[in-house]
Amino acid sequence: MRTPEEIMQDLDARVAQIQEQAGRAEQALADSATTLVSDDEVVTVTVNAGGTLTGLDFSPQARGMSGRGLADLVLDTYNRAVEESSQKTAQIMSGLLGADSEAMGVINSFTQPRQEP
């Protein structure tokens, strides 16, 4: 039978392991910015792991586009970048939580592309 001290040592070791894994996941998420360029190379967007827009650049060809056309191109490129970022985030988190865990199920429900009605 294990002593209370052995149980506490095992628990402390497990907590340290989880903290180390969480730290690696946190750093991987911080480093996982996604930059995507539109097919015509007019728009470049960068999003962070949470899908927040952190960068937006236009090539000189953007000047010749209509406002609506440019807006549509930005939204399309942004949406594709968010989808790619979501896949990266899910991959990073599955390494920490386990691909089949209940917590990953919750994350996947937010990171999977939404189907248009």
Instruction: Show me where the domains of the chain are located.
Output: 32-111
Residues 86 and 112 sit within 8 Å (Cβ to Cβ): yes
CA 45 – CA 57 distance, rounded (Å):
7
Compute CA 18 distance to the chain's CA centroid, rounded to the nearest angstrom.
Answer: 20
pLDDT at 85 over 70: yes
Instruction: Kindly indicate the confidence band of residue 113, based on its pLDDT and cuts at 50, 70 and 90.
Output: low
Give the per-residue pLDDT at 104: 75
CA 108 – CA 94 distance, rounded (Å):
10
Residues 53 and 47 sit within 8 Å (Cβ to Cβ): yes
Give the per-residue pLDDT at 111: 65
Q: For the chain, how big is the Rg over CA atoms in Å?
A: 21
Q: Report yes or no on whether pTM surpasses 0.85.
A: no
Give the per-residue pLDDT at 44: 98
> Which listed CATH number (3.30.700.30, 3.30.420.40, 3.30.1310.10, 3.40.50.150) goes with 32-111?
3.30.1310.10
Compute CA 74 distance to the chain's CA centroid, rounded to the nearest angstrom.
Answer: 19
Record the tokens describing residue 45, joined without a space.
């967007």
Residue 55: Cβ within 10 Å count: 12
pLDDT tens-digit readout, 8-67: 999 888 888 888 887 887 888 888 889 999 999 999 999 998 889 999 999 999 999 999
Give the per-residue pLDDT at 99: 75
Residue 110: Cβ within 10 Å count: 12
CA 95 – CA 113 distance, rounded (Å):
20
Instruction: Kindly indicate the confidence band of residue 82, based on its pLDDT and cuts at 50, 70 and 90.
Output: very high
